[in-house]
Structure 1
């Protein structure tokens, strides 16, 4: 009668342990823990936890972040895998690639990333197909779209 959708995805259970990287601290390398993270310093490398990660206003992550839920207020550059909810606060700056279950973005947050929404299970071929001649993503505004549409040859 009930589905098995809520079965645990990982073999690692989150713990109640808390990890804090304070402002002024800079780490290079990979970090793995079963506990919650609060990051107000700088991390250059990979962060992996089956729990929640909070990136404070002064926090910076350059690398890969893999977690269940994330609340970002600072700067993130790299690859972000969030199986649950990713919340981008108004001060957040995110660049790179995102794979997320749910996404919440406050006004003022900057999101310059490719984003794939999924149910938490890894899927093959996450990169979006590139159009011929596209070397990088383009930002559009309404006038640019109208100009490009009018420049296309009309078919009868």
Structure 2
């Protein structure tokens, strides 16, 4: 008897340097951004904004590491890590926050251990 087998995708979605996207992204996995995104991102996994990455919009995810630039509204259900090279301008809602010396954070932060889990594909992110 044949068994339906769907391989688990361990590779993250990647937006490479020099790539610019205008629009919304929804994923069940992780995403790494080294390019530019002008739009909303919903991820059940980790969003990683690389040192040359720029995101402008609304992001909802489980975990987030920022090395580059983010401007907008950020909702992280678990851990938000702002690395030394990061620049964040906007409103943050997270359960846990880690800020390295040198990171720039301008905006508001609300910490709550009951931040809702993002639901990719639900259309719950509006611009």
TM range (shorter): 0.7 to 0.9
**Structure holding more helix per residue:** 1
1:84 match: 78
Residue from 46, 51, 59 that aligns with 2:45 = 51
Q: Could you report, residue by residue, the CA deviation over 1:110-154 in whole angstroms, capped at 9, with x for unpaired residues?
A: 0001000011335xxxxxxxxxxxxxxxxxxxxxxxxxxxxxxxx
Which has the greater radius of gyration?
Answer: 1
Alpha-carbon distance in 2 for matches of 1:59, 1:33: 18
Which residue is equivalent to 2:93?
A: 99
Q: 57, 60, 64: which is aligned to 2:54?
A: 60
**Separation in 2, partners of 1:55, 1:62:** 11
RMSD: 1.4
Could you tell me the TM-score, scaled by structure 2's length?
0.82
Where do 4+ consecutive residues of structure 1 move more than 3 Å?
none
Higher relative contact order (CA 8 A, sep 6+): 2
Q: CA deviation at 1:17?
A: 4.6
Give the equivalent residue in structure 1 for 2:14: 20
Q: TM-score, normalised by structure 1?
A: 0.67
Q: Matched residue of 1:103: which SS?
A: strand
Secondary structure of 2:39 counterpart: strand
1:54 is displaced (CA, Å) by: 0.7
Unmatched segments (≥5 aa) in structure 2: 1-8, 117-127
